[in-house]
Structure 1
Amino acid sequence: MANLRDIKTRIQSVKTTRQVTSAMKMVSAARLKKAQDDISHIRPFTSRLAGIIQDLSAQEDVAVFSPYTQATATGDKVLILALASNRGLCGAFNTNVVKEVQVLLQEKYRDEFRAGKVQLAVMGKQAEKQFRSRGLQADFCYHELLAQADYQQFSRLADQFMHSFEHGEVKQVVLVYNEFVNAAVQNVQVHQFLPFEVPEHSQNLNPDEYLLEPNAACIINLLVPKMLRSMLFQVVLESLASEHGARMTSMHKATDNATDLIRDLELSYNKARQAAITNQIVEISGGAEALNKS
């Protein structure tokens, strides 16, 4: 009977866990819907803004007028910003970012890392824990910014990066994050934030398409910082949507696994119960037969 009680206790425990994972799945699904809406709003904006800069670069050399291009890089340090999450239970979401940063440190930025010229910035408590367990200490942490995706906050962060680049404190800023594809798929991306790289302009550009006032140089100098701020905010929104999608998928799988486990435990419980009943019947029959013989 002790075995039956243990199995029954475990069934109740797994059912409680299933309720929790099911609730977390629904919460993540609701948050994912909002995150998807945010992405659908900012993607066309940044795409069009990039297109304008792309067209203007056909008339003027952006590197001449913007202080955030490769031509103006004077620093000797590389800043890597890893975007992850403050909470766990989202599968390999955080681990994939940490692993990608490790690959960068071991391959692309190996010499800078050995020379102590790589700064690690982390946005997400879970990623910071994993970096620490791997012997990597974060130089900067921005965990509090993930509590609310506010454009003004991330604009100030982008301005901070641009200030560091412009004053020679860093020569490159790299973003490592999960790009949102759908609820089940998130791709780790490595994006060079600074220096700003202008896309190749169209070969069929019509210079008369734009009426420029005062001139292309002033507009480029104005639009590049706006592009960088919007770019950073989009990356954060992509990461947040990926987090909710990964957590929803993980909780869905956990709920299904809990259901399968409950089914197996109930089958084991029924078998044990039948075996206990059979043993009791055998004992009663044996006792009755012994009494008849006496």
Structure 2
Amino acid sequence: MAERLSDVEARIDSVRQLSSVISAMRGIAAVRSSEANARLAGIREYAQTIGSAIAQALALYSDDGTAPGGGEGVGGRVLVLALCAEQGFVGAFNTHVLDEVQALAETLGTERMDLLIAGSRGVGAARERGLEPVDCLAMAGHADQLAALANRLADRLFARLQEGTVSRVVVVSARPDDTHTAPYRVAAQTVIPFDFARFPPANLAQPPLVHLPAPLLLARLTDEYVFAQLCEAVTLSYAAENDARMRAMIAARENVARKLDELTATSRRLRQEQITEELIELAGAVRT
């Protein structure tokens, strides 16, 4: 009986240590999510500034202010950029992202789709579904790495566009749910062809001073805006990933707490049984 009791007490110590680890992981995830959200205001202000410049460039593009065309080429391939998790303990995060990718693959046809995945955990999960990525990168592990990751993704994206291998780019990513009905939601956003209709040509009394031809200026501004979109998508995905990890750690902590209660109750019962046996042995010794 004493040996069984010692085993249970050892398990209690292990579960308490596990609870401490879970609490630490939850705290780290909360800090990382907060760091990501703190960067969103600057990213969105940057995108708004570029958007205003695009509106002014559109006014210079032609005499009548007509926006340039950006339609998808006939028979062009579609590059789907999926932002998954780099680390574990995120519940069904990767599953939900890849469900959206799978739906796109069924709509477009796998023969027309190239898949680029950021996040090592998503690569293996995609292959299990029969989705083979043409390229993959590691997802950012820290908020300071988000801009660098967006820059690498932009380089891969623009390289494939310049090669003429793709004519449409769709970003599939999670983002925190503002309604708080779920930790995050998954959305597919088309970034190429560029939607110039979002930026009505600016009607300025005094046109801006420019040193580039209007088409070249507009092309460079468009590249900058796409980069801003990638920065926002990567940052939101990183925040959503850590929100999912927080939820997973909360659920794990609740399970650990229940297990600890069960082990504590078992320990008390075994201790009581041990005391009872010792009393019985003591009573027997007194009689003899």
TM-score range, shorter chain: 0.7 to 0.9
- What does residue 245 of structure 1 align with? 243
SS at match of 2:241: helix
2:122 is the alignment partner of 1:127: yes
Q: CA deviation at 1:169?
A: 0.5
Identity percentage over the alignment? 27
SS at match of 2:68: helix
- What does residue 118 of structure 1 align with? 113
Q: Which amino acid aligns with 1:49?
A: I
- What does residue 157 of structure 2 align with? 161
- What does residue 14 of structure 2 align with? 13
Q: C-alpha distance in 2, partners of 1:266/1:153?
A: 47
- What does residue 188 of structure 2 align with? 190
Alignment of 1:47-126 (within 5 A): 47-53=48-54, 57=58, 60-64=65-69, 69-70=70-71, 73=73, 76-106=76-106, 108-109=107-108, 112-113=109-110, 116-126=111-121
- TM-score norm. by structure 2 comes to 0.82
Q: C-alpha distance in 2, partners of 1:123/1:152?
A: 13
Q: C-alpha distance in 2, partners of 1:93/1:60?
A: 44
Contact (CA 8 Å) 2:83, 2:172: kept in 1 or not? yes
* C-alpha distance 133-287 of structure 1, shift in aligned 2 (>3 A): farther
Q: CA RMSD in A?
A: 2.9
* C-alpha distance 281-199 of structure 1, shift in aligned 2 (>3 A): farther
Unpaired runs of 5+ in structure 1? none
Partner of residue 138 from structure 1, selected from 133, 152, 158: 133
SS at match of 2:30: helix
Q: CA deviation at 1:45?
A: 2.1
* C-alpha distance 257-145 of structure 1, shift in aligned 2 (>3 A): closer
SS at match of 2:133: coil
* C-alpha distance 55-17 of structure 1, shift in aligned 2 (>3 A): same
Q: Relative to structure 2, which stretch is displaced further, 122-131 or 205-214? A: 205-214
2:268 is the alignment partner of 1:270: yes
Contact (CA 8 Å) 1:78, 1:172: kept in 2 or not? yes
- TM-score norm. by structure 1 comes to 0.81
Encode CA deviations 1:140-169: one digit per residue, 9 max, x unaligned: 011166565253553353243234224421
Q: C-alpha distance in 2, partners of 1:209/1:179?
A: 40
Q: CA deviation at 1:23?
A: 1.3
Contact (CA 8 Å) 1:32, 1:241: kept in 2 or not? yes
SS at match of 1:208: coil
Query: How many residues are aligned here?
Result: 278
* C-alpha distance 189-209 of structure 1, shift in aligned 2 (>3 A): farther
